[in-house]
């Protein structure tokens, strides 16, 4: 889900930017005369001056601002999002919470919580897991644009408590993001749910047990990983009610890699995905390569890991990479993509298990768009076939073509988010 263009920030960031003033009036009253976001001590969020030491324990909370229902609609529409489900104003919060890293060691992560301005005490919860980014400030709880925060705000405005984890190593999380590692994306999403459940009573709400799970691109696989964990009893306080992944690369070995190698995926973006995958999985699993020069040609071998350590803006990374895989990879690197082996092959097997290793009992809708230039639709077909072969109640929903920044892949997110919100609203 790389965005080839720079982040859009002008004209569409009016409401949920660091407690700012909206339309000349201070938002929500709770900001009073403040002009900067308010940090709330962990004591207020979790009942301890040091925060909750358990997984999902809240370390800190920051109110990011809010909008009335009348302001949410134009803000979402400015980013192309459907506004049909907007019913409430929304307040947004950044939660920093305790979780575990890709190796099970204690760490922290951050995420975005969007709460509707409603008198209802009990709220149903939507978990939204975002698409690929390689730059820490582009994560939902930190970025100030409608693309990053729009889905959570859309679900919040529809009346849900919307929970959007940044994942490990993005936003305010320490370290480097373990990209395309569903186990750690799942644990980060689950612990964000726990953190939201702990914090919500401080704002007069209780999160119901049922969770509606969705996500886009990278986050589509993460959504399936979270749904699987909830179904298998990872936390009895939560239960998966329905799952609505959007444009996922679920079948990386069988569908995405062949499309990347053939040029069906936009070549420049294919280069970025290949580089991100190889460097990420080498950090996580080890053994993909010893030195970058084994898989990457000069001069890219000397800088490719830096591009994906969270400190390089996406447009800078894309400009710095070559236009084709042949320019990026050595013969050994190309061979590994064509014929995966060793640690890399094992990573692909684990990644595919979101569709091949369990049988969903909750209803699943897989959203896809024809002509997707980043996550080819063969991924969705393969995942649907795997689920149906196991007797799972899954359907495939075609999204009408809508471009976002010239991309069908990105357009599928803004289109299907509204479709998922309407579906979730009908479920009881």
| Concatenated DSSP letters of 245-301 | EES----IIIIIHHHHHHT-S-HHHHHHHHHHHHHHHHHHH--S-SSGGGTB-TTGG
- Determine the pLDDT at residue 53: 72
DSSP-derived letter for residue 180 is T
Least confident of 30-44, 127-141, 286-300, 306-320: 30-44
Query: Quick one: pLDDT at residue 90?
Result: 98
Q: Report, as an integer, the average pLDDT of 381-388.
A: 98
Q: What percent of the chain has pLDDT over 90?
A: 87
> By C-alpha distance, which of 397, 382, 374, 363 is closest to 217?
374
The pLDDT > 70 percentage for the chain reads 88
Region 269-289: mean pLDDT is 97
**Which tokens sit at 252?**
């990386």
Residue 393 has a pLDDT of 84
**pLDDT (0 to 100) of residue 51:** 53
More confident residue, 8 or 210: 210
Q: Tokens 């679920």 appear where?
A: 250
278, 295 contact by CB (below 8 A): yes
Q: In whole angstroms, give the CA distance from residue 294 to residue 279.
A: 12
Which residue from 12, 179, 5, 197 is spatially nearest to 111, judged by alpha carbons?
Answer: 197
* Residue with the larger pLDDT of the pair 43 and 351: 351
Return the CATH number of the domain spanning residue range 21-250+365-426. Answer: 3.40.50.1820
Residue 52 pLDDT class (50, 70, 90 cuts): low
| 48-52, 56-60, 266-270: segment of lowest average pLDDT | 48-52
Q: Provide the whole-model pTM.
A: 0.90
Q: What are phi and psi of 336, to 5 degrees?
A: -65, -40
Cβ atoms of 49 and 87 closer than 8 Å: no
In Å, what is the CA distance from 330 to each residue of 223, 292, 297?
A: 34, 10, 6
Q: How far is CA 228 from the centre of its chain?
A: 17
pLDDT, residue 229, reads: 98
CA atoms of 273 and 238, how far apart (whole Å): 33
Q: Where are the beta strands (DSSP E) in 268-383?
A: 364-368
pLDDT for position 93:
98
Residue range(s) of every CATH 1.10.260.160 domain in the chain: 252-351
Query: CATH 3.40.50.1820 residue ranges in the chain?
Result: 21-250+365-426
Q: Residue 10: which pLDDT band, with cuts at 50, 70 and 90?
A: very low
pLDDT of residue 428: 81
Please give the mean pLDDT across all residues of the chain. 90
For domain 252-351, the CATH architecture is Orthogonal Bundle (1.10)
């Amino acid at each position: 889900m790389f965005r080839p263009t720079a982040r859009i920030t002008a004209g569409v960031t009016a409401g949920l930017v660091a407690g700012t003033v909206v339309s000349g009036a201070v938002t929500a009253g709770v900001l009073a005369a403040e002009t900067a976001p308010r940090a709330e001590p962990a004591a207020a969020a979790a009942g301890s001056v040091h925060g909750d030491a358990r997984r999902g324990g809240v370390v800190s909370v920051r109110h990011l601002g809010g909008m009335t229902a009348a302001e949410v609609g134009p803000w979402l529409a400015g980013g192309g999002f459907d506004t049909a489900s907007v019913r409430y104003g929304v307040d947004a919060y950044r939660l920093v919470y305790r979780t575990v890293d890709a190796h099970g060691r204690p760490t922290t992560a951050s995420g975005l919580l969007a709460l509707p301005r409603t008198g209802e005490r009990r709220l149903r919860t939507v978990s939204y897991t975002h698409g690929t980014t390689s730059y820490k400030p582009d994560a939902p709880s930190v970025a100030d644009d409608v693309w990053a925060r729009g889905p959570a705000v859309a679900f919040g405005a529809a009346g849900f408590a919307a929970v959007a984890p940044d994942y490990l190593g993005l936003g305010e999380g320490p370290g480097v993001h373990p990209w395309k590692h569903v186990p750690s994306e799942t644990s980060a999403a689950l612990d964000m749910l726990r953190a939201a459940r702990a914090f919500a009573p401080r704002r007069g709400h209780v999160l119901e047990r049922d969770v509606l799970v969705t996500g886009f691109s990278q986050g589509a696989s993460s959504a399936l990983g979270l749904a699987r964990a909830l179904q298998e009893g990872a936390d009895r306080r939560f239960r998966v009610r329905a799952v609505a992944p959007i444009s996922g690369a679920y079948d990386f070995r069988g569908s995405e890699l062949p499309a990347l190698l053939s040029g069906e995926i936009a070549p420049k973006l294919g280069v970025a995905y290949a580089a991100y995958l190889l460097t990420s999985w080498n950090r996580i699993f080890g053994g993909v390569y010893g030195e970058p020069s084994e898989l990457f040609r000069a001069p890219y071998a000397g800088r490719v890991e830096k591009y994906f350590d969270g400190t390089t803006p996406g447009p800078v990374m894309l400009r710095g990479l070559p236009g084709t895989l042949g320019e990026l990879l050595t013969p050994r690197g190309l061979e590994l993509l064509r014929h995966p082996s060793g640690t890399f092959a094992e990573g692909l097997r684990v990644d595919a298990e979101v569709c091949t290793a369990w049988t969903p009992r909750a209803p699943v809708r897989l959203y896809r768009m024809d002509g997707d230039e980043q996550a080819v639709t063969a991924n969705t077909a393969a995942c649907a076939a795997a689920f149906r072969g196991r007797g799972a109640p899954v359907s495939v929903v075609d999204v009408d073509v809508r471009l976002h920044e010239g991309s069908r892949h990105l357009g599928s997110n803004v289109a299907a988010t509204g479709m998922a919100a309407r579906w979730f609203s009908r479920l009881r």
